[in-house]
Amino acid sequence: MGYYAVARKVIGMKEKLRDVFYRYRHGWILSYLLIYLMWFAYLEQTVTRRFHVIHMAVDDYIPFVEVFIIPYLLWFGYVAAAVAYFFFKDVQDYYKLCIFLFVGMTVFLVASTVYPNGHCLRPRVFERDNIFIDMVKALYLVDTPTNLFPSIHVYNSIGVHFAIMQSERLKEKKWLRRGSFVLMASIIAATMFLKQHSVFDVITGCIMAVVMYTLVYGADFQAGWKRVYERSYRQI
């Protein structure tokens, strides 16, 4: 292959990469996750003993049910899959979902920093021995019973479901919308049945989700975002 042929190939590859970066330039907002992970890791290491105990009387009546470890862990895929789908399929819905998630996650970080919190709900002895118990034990080893409210598992699950329900692309996918609701509800229940969260964390997560819904999906925000989107992405 001659020099000019190699040069043309290199130039072509550069142009393709430039086009890819331009088309998916909205990925910049995901850099927030680095800030979140570092901040959360700091809290997990520093908030260990001296914290305000979160507890409601109803917590004592909720049994420990280890099988809920399945929907609890599915949360990671649920959120990641939704962000990835909208990233590639609908930039407007992608930004709305990211704003919804990241604002709530920031509120959670600030709350945990200003008001260190935790709970004492986890069972000390497991009455059963099965694969689900083993999975819960592994979870307990890597996730401290601190930094709890508002529950991000609850909040982000609701946020993803809102995004799916508001999506024009998915409005005809009734099976997906129903499945999303079932998974969302299962994840919320899992936070309590696994003794990962107090009912208080769940309630505050739900309240924050409702507030953010009115802000992100409200008429004023929708109109403003449409204008920004049309100016920024009219060439795509």
| Residue pLDDT, tens place only, 34-48 | 999 999 999 998 877
Token representation of residue 72 = 């609890």
Structural domain including 90 reads 27-233
7 domain residue, yes or no:
no
Q: How confident is the model at residue 10 (pLDDT cuts 50, 70, 90)?
A: very low
**Quick one: pLDDT at residue 3?**
53
61 domain residue, yes or no:
yes
19 domain residue, yes or no:
no
The count of domains in the chain is 1
- Tell me the per-residue pLDDT of 76-100, one tens digit each, with 9 for 90 and over: 999 999 999 999 999 999 999 999 9
150 domain residue, yes or no:
yes
Is the confidence at residue 207, as pLDDT, over 50?
A: yes
15 domain residue, yes or no:
no
**Quick one: pLDDT at residue 191?**
97
Indicate the average pLDDT of the chain: 87
CA distance 208 to 202: 10
- Tell me the per-residue pLDDT of 108-161, one tens digit each, with 9 for 90 and over: 999 999 999 999 999 999 999 999 999 999 999 999 999 998 999 999 999 999
40 domain residue, yes or no:
yes
CA distance 32 to 30: 5
CA distance 90 to 236: 12
Between vectors from CA 150 to CA 223 and to CA 120, what angle results, nearest 5°? 170
By residue count, the chain amounts to: 236
Are 109 and 39 in contact by the 8 Å Cβ rule? The answer is yes
CA distance 114 to 166: 34
**SS3 category, 118:** strand
Count of other CB atoms within 10 angstroms of residue 218:
11
Q: What is the pTM of this model?
A: 0.87
